[in-house]
Amino acid sequence: MRVVQWATGGVGKAAIETILLHPELELVGCWVHSAGKGGRDVGELLGREPLGVRTTTSLDEVLAMDADCVLYSPLVPDRDVVAALLRSGKNVVTPVGWFYPSERDGAPLAAACEEGRSTLHGTGINPGGITELHPLVFSALSSAVTFVRGEEFSDIRTYDAPDVVRHLMMFGGRPEEAMGGPMLGLLSGGFVQSVRMCLDALGFSRDAEIRTAQAVAVATAPIDSPIGTIEPGLVAGQRFVWEAVVRDRVVVRVAVNWLMGEEHLDPAWTFGPEGERFEVELQGDPPAHVTIKGWQPASVAEGLARNPGVVATAVHCVNSIPYVVAAEPGIRTYLDLPLVAGRAHPDLA
Ligand SMILES: NC(=O)c1ccc[n+]([C@@H]2O[C@H](COP(=O)([O-])OP(=O)(O)OC[C@H]3O[C@@H](n4cnc5c(N)ncnc54)[C@H](OP(=O)(O)O)[C@@H]3O)[C@@H](O)[C@H]2O)c1
């Protein structure tokens, strides 16, 4: 299957590496955002051997390509671009949204899928993994489910996107800037879809109320970080929570805990003895409690060079491609697709 990569940030670069290793996929094109990256060999742009595939900054060139799928991972999604790709007959897999859109939110892109006989699938790690897919996978082994949870505990110093961390997430800013900033709204776009997928798939009451919360911790001493030194009193930790409540009981909980280290925070938030991790919890008969290690780097330096959480996001997208290409046209979620599996290492295949 012929694949075009859209954008070469952390996700895009890892996606290209993964496409090259996948036995059923071939990289045939690559869109780049910055003009200076256009017209280059993709391999050379990534600091590896030439691949014989040139980058382009032109949407029209991508639309004209003969390709089965576009892996769409820019910083800022553009619904019109996604619609144009779908109308041109290309399937789209993306970590930026459309995990489980409402009928109203999904309608314009569902129409584009219909026109191009193409499929759109949103996937990733968080949302797109531990916040809905993995709780649902484990729910198959429990009856009478009363609660599911997906939660991230990460050192945000390992996320190599300083502009996003400083100006969107508002780390290093004043607490009131972070609390009034755009992050809760931006994150809610994805995580509320996770919550709704859990509610619908598990059959919780349609009257469930969804509520959100945000809290910040400030530095108590100067903290060294990729966005510069965070001075005492400025934001160095954030928690975001989305909960669905049925008859006064929390039935779905999604949360992220992003800390600039654990040493100098007020409140004195830590990761606890288990350290950085992702968690999936389910209360039912029997219950399940899963801790995922390996999606966080061993050190800040390692994370800045290649963050396993970003790689996992890209790989989830790439591994979905054969199933998305084979799917019926439309917006297709985990609730529609068959089991998505990875592929063996080429040396062992
Ligand atoms: N669902 C999940 O679990 C999950 C996990 C990780 C990331 N994501 C999402 O995936 C996307 C990519 O993440 P990333 O870690 O790869 O980000 P990144 O490293 O910051 O890379 C972003 C890419 O977008 C390009 N870009 C910058 N401004 C743009 C604009 N205005 N329009 C279009 N493209 C622009 C950049 O181009 P240049 O390189 O030319 O500057 C870069 O290639 C983000 O939207 C992120 O929120 C989702």
In a domain, 283, yes or no: yes
- The whole-angstrom separation of Cα 254 and Cα 53 is 40
Q: Are 284 and 145 in the same domain?
A: yes
In a domain, 299, yes or no: no
Q: What is the pLDDT of residue 168?
A: 87
Q: Are 97 and 176 in the same domain?
A: no
The first and second tokens of residue 349, run together, are 């295949």
Q: Are 147 and 270 in the same domain?
A: yes
Q: Which residue has the higher pLDDT, 93 or 159?
A: 93
| pLDDT tens digits, 110-165 | 999 999 999 999 999 999 999 999 999 999 999 999 999 999 999 999 998 888 89
- 151 in Cβ contact with 289 (< 8 Å): no
Q: What is the pLDDT of residue 151?
A: 98
Q: Are 156 and 269 in the same domain?
A: yes
Testing ligand 1's pocket by substitution, the residue of 4, 62, 73 carrying the most ligand atoms inside 8 A of its CB is: 73
Tell how far the Cα of 209 is from the centroid of ligand 1, in angstroms: 31
- 68 in Cβ contact with 96 (< 8 Å): no
- Domain boundaries, position 46: 2-125+311-348
Q: Are 120 and 152 in the same domain?
A: no
- 153 in Cβ contact with 277 (< 8 Å): yes
Q: Are 117 and 233 in the same domain?
A: no
Q: What is the pLDDT of residue 164?
A: 87
As for how many domains the chain has, the answer is 2
Tell how far the Cα of 73 is from the centroid of ligand 1, in angstroms: 6
In a domain, 287, yes or no: yes
Q: Which atom of ligand 1 is nearest to the CA of 11?
A: 16
Q: Please name the residue whose Cα sits nearest to atom 28 of ligand 1.
A: 75
- The whole-angstrom separation of Cα 148 and Cα 130 is 11
State the distance between the two ends of the chain, measured CA to CA, in whole angstroms.
Answer: 18
| pLDDT tens digits, 291-340 | 999 999 999 999 999 999 999 999 999 999 999 999 999 999 999 999 99
Q: Which atom of ligand 1 is nearest to the CA of 161?
A: 20
| pLDDT tens digits, 226-282 | 999 999 999 999 999 999 999 999 999 999 999 999 999 999 999 999 999 999 999
The domain that holds 325 is classified in CATH as 3.40.50.720
Q: Give the residue-averaged pLDDT of 205-229.
A: 96
Q: Which helix (H) or strand (E) holds 60?
A: helix 59-64
| pLDDT tens digits, 158-193 | 998 888 899 889 999 999 999 988 999 999 999 999
Q: Are 75 and 160 in the same domain?
A: no
In a domain, 159, yes or no: yes
pTM for the structure as a whole = 0.96
Distances 54 to 11, 166, 345 between C-alpha atoms, Å? 19, 33, 27
List beta partners, residue 285. 143
Place of tokens 């790709």: 85
- The whole-angstrom separation of Cα 325 and Cα 64 is 18
* Chain-centroid distance, C-alpha 19: 18
Tell how far the Cα of 84 is from the centroid of ligand 1, in angstroms: 19
In a domain, 306, yes or no: no
Tell how far the Cα of 12 is from the centroid of ligand 1, in angstroms: 8
Q: Please name the residue whose Cα sits nearest to atom 30 of ligand 1.
A: 76
Q: Give the residue-averaged pLDDT of 278-292.
A: 98
Q: Are 121 and 145 in the same domain?
A: no
In a domain, 305, yes or no: no
Q: What is the pLDDT of residue 19?
A: 98
Q: What is the pLDDT of residue 161?
A: 86
281: left (phi over 0), alpha (psi -120 to 50) or beta: beta
Q: Are 148 and 266 in the same domain?
A: yes
Q: Are 76 and 218 in the same domain?
A: no
